[in-house]
Amino acid sequence: MSADATFKPWVKRYPGGAPDAPATLVFPHAGGAALAYRGLGTALAAAGSDAYVMQYPQRGDRLTHPAPDTVGELAADLFDAGDWAALGPLRLFGHCMGAVVAFEFARVAESKGIEVSSLWVSASEAPSTVAAAPALPMAESEIIAEMVDLGGTDPQLLADEDFVELLLMAVRADYAAFNRYGCDDDVRIAADIHTLGGDTDHRVSENMLRRWETHTSGAFTVSMFEGGHFYINDHTADVAELVHAL
């Protein structure tokens, strides 16, 4: 990392150790906090990347920060959190909604002349397909049912009223922004796009991942792992090695 680079304190950094370690920025799923990606950040650092895990408003140490109205505003908020130009070519990794946030972050970065070498898309529908998809739920009971269906959240935590209250605030903020999102088929970034998914994910299929190819003017790949929507929890080290290798 450049000695001149500065970042908001809520950007969680996991140093890769080498002075010239490439920067990998991690964008959590809807309702996800930076803490949930500590394992991936640590694995990326072990693989040789400088990992920077984003914290969205309405959770963790940004609990009182107002929620952006749109995914574009959220991406701009995250872009303004750091001196990304000082890090050289960036790698971006986003899981589920985080992949769309990362895509919009890449658009902002490229418009500012900052090179993004690759966007890693994990278990996410393509930007151009979001608007036609069913709206994400906003009612408490429906959100909880959605969390149970997707997996990735400890059922014991969902029985904790205080946890659920904070979770609902974060999820509603993210879902509201995502429900307003739209993107045309012909919107592209220069960065390569590499997609990853679980072979038993009942929400995001391999064919849905392949729709991302229309959004890059660079290279495109698809890699599938054993598991469901949160396959990444069982393959964290393998995913980190793959991201760092390209």
pLDDT in tens, 113-167: 999 999 999 999 999 999 999 898 888 888 888 877 777 677 777 777 888 888 8
Average pLDDT of span 196-211: 97
Instruction: Classify 121 as helix, strand or coil.
Output: strand
Q: List the one residue out of 5, 44, 45, 30 whose CA is nearest residue 176.
A: 30
2 band by pLDDT with thresholds 50, 70 and 90 = very low
Residue 66 has pLDDT above 80, yes or no: yes
Residue 4 has pLDDT above 60, yes or no: no
Q: Which residue has the tokens 């929507």?
A: 229
Residue 151: per-residue pLDDT: 76
Q: Which residue has the tokens 């997609």?
A: 195
Residue 20: per-residue pLDDT: 82
Tell whether the torsion through CA atoms of 90, 239, 244 and 3 is positive or negative: positive
Sorted by where each starts, the structural domains of the chain and their CATH numbers stand as 12-245 (3.40.50.1820)
**Distance (Å) of CA 185 to CA 106, 169, 197, 226:** 16, 31, 21, 29
Average pLDDT of span 51-75: 96
Residue 17: per-residue pLDDT: 77
Residue 147: per-residue pLDDT: 78
pLDDT in tens, 177-194: 999 999 999 999 999 999
